[in-house]
Amino acid sequence: MPFKNKFIQQRIEKSETLRKEGFNPYSNDSHRNCTIKKFLNVNSDIAEMEEKRDENRNYIVSGRIKLLRIMGKASFVKIEDESGTLQIYVARDNLAEGFYNDVFKKNIEVGDIIEISGYPFVTGQGELSLHADNLKMLTKAISPLPEKFHGVTDKEIRYRKRYLDLIMNSEVRKTFQTRSKVISLTRRFFEDKGFLEVETPMMHPIAGGANAKPFVTHHNALGINRFLRIAPELYLKRLIVGGFEAVFEINRNFRNEGMDATHNPEFTSIEFYWAYKTYKDLIKITKEYFEYLFEHLNLPTLLPYGDLKINFDNFVEIPLIESLTTIGGVPAEITSDKEKIVAYLNSKNVTVKPGLNLGQLQGELFDEFVEEKLIDPTFITEYPVEISPLARRSDANPEITERFELFIAGREIANAFSELNDPVDQLSRFEGQMDAKDAGDDEAHEMDLDFIEALSYGMAPTAGQGIGIDRLVMLLTNEHSIRDVLLFPAMKPIINEEHNQEEEN
Q: Which lies closer to RNA via its Cβ, residue 230 or residue 247?
A: 230
Q: Which lies closer to RNA via its Cβ, residue 174 or residue 348?
A: 348
Q: Which lies closer to RNA via its Cβ, residue 128 or residue 310?
A: 128
Under rule CB under 7 A, which residues in 217-256 are in contact with RNA? 255
Helix (H, G, I), strand (E, B) or coil at 6: helix
Q: Which of 157, 166, 427, 460 binds RNA (CB under 7 A)?
A: 157
**89 contributes a contact to RNA by CB under 7 A:** yes
Identity of the amino acid at 500: N
Q: Which of 68, 246, 318, 459 binds RNA (CB under 7 A)?
A: 68
Q: Which of 2, 22, 124, 458 binds RNA (CB under 7 A)?
A: 124
Closest-CA residue to 235 (of 286, 184, 207, 201): 201
Under rule CB under 7 A, which residues in 351-390 are in contact with RNA? 367
Residues facing residue 418 across a β-bridge: 463
The CB-of-453 to RNA minimum distance in angstroms stands at 25
Residues facing residue 64 across a β-bridge: 80, 113
Contacts of 203 (CB under 8 A, 6+ apart): 217, 219, 226, 227, 228, 229
Number of residues located near RNA, criterion CB under 7 A: 76
Q: Which lies closer to RNA via its Cβ, residue 55 or residue 313?
A: 55
What count of Cα atoms within 13 Å lies in the side-chain half-sphere of residue 188? 9
**70 contributes a contact to RNA by CB under 7 A:** yes
Contacts of 192 (CB under 8 A, 6+ apart): none
**152 contributes a contact to RNA by CB under 7 A:** yes
Q: Which lies closer to RNA via its Cβ, residue 275 or residue 484?
A: 484
Helix (H, G, I), strand (E, B) or coil at 78: strand
- Pairing of β 316-319 and β 378-381: parallel
The CB-of-225 to RNA minimum distance in angstroms stands at 20
Q: Which of 5, 177, 217, 326 binds RNA (CB under 7 A)?
A: 5
Q: Which lies closer to RNA via its Cβ, residue 143 or residue 301?
A: 143
**133 contributes a contact to RNA by CB under 7 A:** no
How far is 203 from 221, CA to CA, in rounded Å?
14
Measured from the Cβ of residue 306, the count of other Cβ atoms closer than 10 Å reads 10
Q: Which lies closer to RNA via its Cβ, residue 71 or residue 221?
A: 71
Closest-CA residue to 129 (of 86, 70, 164): 86
Per-residue x/- track, 450-479, RNA (CB under 7 A): ------------------x-xx--------
The 3-state secondary structure of 283-297, one letter per residue: HHHHHHHHHHHHHHH
The alpha carbons of the chain give a radius of gyration, in whole angstroms, of: 30
Closest-CA residue to 90 (of 68, 106, 112): 68
The CB-of-251 to RNA minimum distance in angstroms stands at 13
C-alpha separations of 498 from 2, 75, 238, 307 in Å:
14, 46, 51, 47
Window contacting RNA (CB under 7 A); options: 104-112, 333-341, 393-401, 418-426:
104-112
**167 contributes a contact to RNA by CB under 7 A:** no
The CB-of-328 to RNA minimum distance in angstroms stands at 14
Contacts of 499 (CB under 8 A, 6+ apart): none
Q: Which of 33, 41, 44, 153 binds RNA (CB under 7 A)?
A: 153
How far is 156 from 146, CA to CA, in rounded Å?
14
Under rule CB under 7 A, which residues in 24-63 are in contact with RNA? none
Per-residue x/- track, 388-417, RNA (CB under 7 A): -----------------------xx--x--
Q: Which residues in 255-275 are b (16+ Cβ under 10 Å) and which e?
A: beeeeeeeebbebbbbbbbbb
Under rule CB under 7 A, which residues in 256-295 are in contact with RNA? 257-258, 260-265, 267
The CB-of-70 to RNA minimum distance in angstroms stands at 5
Q: Which lies closer to RNA via its Cβ, residue 334 or residue 482?
A: 482
**22 contributes a contact to RNA by CB under 7 A:** no
Quick one: which H or E segment has residue 74? strand 74-81
Per-residue x/- track, 307-326, RNA (CB under 7 A): --------------------
The CB-of-245 to RNA minimum distance in angstroms stands at 26
Q: Is-contact 412 406, C-beta < 8 A?
A: yes
Quick one: which H or E segment has residue 432? helix 423-438
- Pairing of β 266-275 and β 411-418: unpaired
Q: Which lies closer to RNA via its Cβ, residue 210 or residue 241?
A: 210
Window contacting RNA (CB under 7 A); options: 173-181, 185-193, 209-217, 312-320:
209-217
The CB-of-90 to RNA minimum distance in angstroms stands at 9
The CB-of-180 to RNA minimum distance in angstroms stands at 19
The CB-of-413 to RNA minimum distance in angstroms stands at 8
The CB-of-242 to RNA minimum distance in angstroms stands at 26
The CB-of-196 to RNA minimum distance in angstroms stands at 24
The CB-of-490 to RNA minimum distance in angstroms stands at 8
The CA-based angle 2-5-10, given to 5 degrees, is 110
How far is 164 from 152, CA to CA, in rounded Å?
8
Quick one: which H or E segment has residue 411? strand 411-418
